[in-house]
Amino acid sequence: MLAVLSPGQGSQKPGFLTPWLDLPDAEARLRWWSALAGVDLVHLGTQADAEEIKDTARTQPLLVAAALLAAEHLPMHDVGVTAGHSVGELGAAALAGVLTAETAITLAGVRGREMAAACALEPTGMAAVLGGDADEVLAAIEAHGLHPANRNGAGQVVAAGPGDRLEKLVANPPTRARVTMLKVAGAFHTPYMAPAERALATVAAGITTADPKRILLSNLDGTAVTHGREMLQRLVRQVTAPVRWDLCIRTLADLGVTAIIELAPAGTLTNLIKRELKATGVPELVTLNTPDDLPAARDLIARHGKPASHRPTTQYRVVVASSAGSFEPAEGLNEGDPVRAGQIVGQVVSRHGAAEVAAHDGGVLTEWLAHPNAPVAPGQPLARIGGHI
């Protein structure tokens, strides 16, 4: 199975879109998307300097546009999984069919402007905490009155909040950890972004969505989201909620993903995956930064993607655990059995009791992803259900 990833803020580089404008219709597409986003994407991607593209209001639509522009040159019908980091989720949602490209670009423009406005309300920022014991790092962040805005895996947590509190964390890092201030405008993915979340929710209320055509992972908890309206709600909520990229990486591994393409501007997410999964096995990776990388990306899809077929496409939906505990499959339910929407497929048992796990949609139980009585974490895939679309 192959996944395509859409990067988030911080991955941009001056001039990174320049080679893409040599492709047919690329500039025209960016001009159209610029009208929707309210910023000049051609200028930002080709001529703007690092300071200009650091502006949140400009960066967010630029990154979504770049990912979608690159993906237009790939056989996406053979891709099994999509995911994005932070604003990259808008690109991933469009690639999964939940949003149109135009809707994703428009939302990115609104999101960027409103988050930039929220940053201006009070001085806040972010700092990367690298290394150290995970529990100790989170405890230190909380002790300083900060928020863990990004949990990226590979020993990387991003703390966010008022600047003076961040400075104290830098001066007193957790044991065996180092803390580095980030050049960002404010405390993204924290309650400080509440005004932006409210503004984005107002716009999102008028959007029509579709259910995903492929597995689509959410930053909120790493789970596969099966309903378009739910994904849109999560996209809005993510403005103030932490990015759990560590859980997304875990789900990619649990799904058995064997190859990954990171869309332009690529490198940040694949580096995190290489560090996080080095002990258990890293999927084959391609970073798609220029059109020169397209042949390698297409070859990866040909070798790891779903085989092309004129028969009805099987759409897989993943049932996930809502809490931690041990998983007990429903008695008598086996791989290959039909499953109806709402049917209980098992339960997660913890010291607090048993939580039933239901299938959101009907289909066929194609594979158990967790062994009976095995410990599971919140958001961990338990079963894969296939159906024809």
β-strands 259-262, 2-6 pairing: parallel
Cα torsion angle, 372, 373, 375, 378, sign: positive
> How many other CB atoms sit within 10 Å of the CB of residue 191?
12
Q: Tell me how far CA of residue 139 lies from CA of 38, 157, 336, in angstroms.
A: 41, 12, 45
| Pairwise CA distance, residues 132 & 273, whole Å | 18
Known catalytic membership, residue 326: no
Task: Point out the catalytic residue in the list 6, 11, 86, 218.
Answer: 86
Contacts of 331 by beta carbon, 8 Å cutoff, 6+ apart? none
Query: ω into residue 265 within 30 of 0, thus cis?
Result: yes
Contacts of 229 by beta carbon, 8 Å cutoff, 6+ apart? 209
| Pairwise CA distance, residues 374 & 385, whole Å | 20
Task: Point out the catalytic residue in the list 85, 144, 147, 189.
Answer: 189
SS3 of residue 266 by DSSP: coil
**Residues 235 and 204: beta-carbon distance below 8 Å:** yes
| Pairwise CA distance, residues 224 & 248, whole Å | 9
Known catalytic membership, residue 11: no
- Residues annotated as part of the active site: 86, 189
